[in-house]
Amino acid sequence: MPALTAKAPAKLILLGEHAVVYGYPALAVPVASRWLRATMQARIKPANSGLTVSAPQLDIECPFEALPELHPIKAAVIVTLRHLGIQRLPSANLNIQANFPFSSGLGSSASLAVAVIRVFSAFLGHSITNPELNTLAYQVETSAHGTPSGVDNSVVSYNQPIWFIKGAQPTPLQPGANFHFLIADSGIKKSTAASVGELARRHDEDSTFIDECFKKIAGLTRLGRQAFQSGEIQRFGELMNENQEQLAKLGLSCPELDRLNAAALKSGAFGAKLTGGGLGGFMVALSPTAETVPFKKALIEAGAQQVIDVPVLKNPEGDSHE
């Protein structure tokens, strides 16, 4: 039997992270050039030898049973088997490869869940719809993060720009112009569960200040949706800056991210902010045009480990020129 492969993109939250956990909206896009690939290869001999898992970037090379109980790979396989009503693990190897770093604000756990669920159900002979995929990936995210909003698994499952509110079906969005984002890695690994958990602890102690920030974020995210759809690039950038201000007030930025944001703005970016959980990981900047080389140079000089172009185009199948 030939190997089966499924790919899932990385994701980028443009506006609304953290507030989205509390029921406010977020706007997110897939990152087409960065993906995670899951491959299933059947093993004929020895018979009934079970499932083995290899994921070099995560230092995993072991039988399925040896994975930690809450590991997203294990959770993804279990939810898929349960969904399909299948009890027995196939004799096969599941291999995971990604071309973007884990724990950096690009939604690696959602990409992992989506790619594994897709390849596993295909391997077992079942096709899966996007809403089913999204529901199962959310279950995996819940075991990995605790209280995820669901934005990561939604944008990765549907693989298109979305408007997202917790508990509702995501709304696909069409940009009104070509947006040229860049994302830069601060090089600092961070835990989303930790930053979400710490904010929740502070919210339990005193919600007034945090709720005020979230309401401002919700307002600017709604305006961001209009600017995105009507193609007002500069306005969208201003809203990214306002979002960063609120995230910094919430204590979710750090000197390395601040340095990258400042470098992007100094070079003429329309906007710059952290993306995802914060306290490290990636930041996102919005270039006024498709010419992003000067921003890359400035971001590398300011300490970025890598810089990636993320074009979000009005007509993705067509020409990317302005």
Q: Does 247 sit near ligand PMV (CB under 6 A)?
A: no
Residues 6+ away with beta carbon under 8 Å from 14: 27, 28, 29, 181, 224, 228, 236, 240, 275, 284
* 18 vs 298 by CB, closer to ligand PMV: 18
CA distance 128 to 132: 6
* 9 vs 233 by CB, closer to ligand PMV: 9
Least Å distance, CB 12 to ligand PMV, is 9
Instruction: Give the number of other Cβ atoms within 10 Å of residue 81's Cβ.
Output: 17
Site string for ligand PMV, 273-292 (x = CB under 6 A): ---xx---------------
CA distance 153 to 107: 8
Q: Does 196 sit near ligand PMV (CB under 6 A)?
A: yes
CA distance 183 to 296: 9
Restricted to residues 121-180, the positions that interact with ligand PMV (CB under 6 A) are 148-149, 151-152
Q: Does 107 sit near ligand PMV (CB under 6 A)?
A: yes
Least Å distance, CB 132 to ligand PMV, is 20
Amino acid symbol at 58:
L
CA distance 286 to 179: 7
CA distance 145 to 228: 29
Q: Does 296 sit near ligand PMV (CB under 6 A)?
A: no
Q: Does 308 sit near ligand PMV (CB under 6 A)?
A: no
Interface residues with ligand PMV (CB under 6 A) are 13, 17-18, 20-21, 105-107, 148-149, 151-152, 192, 196, 276-277
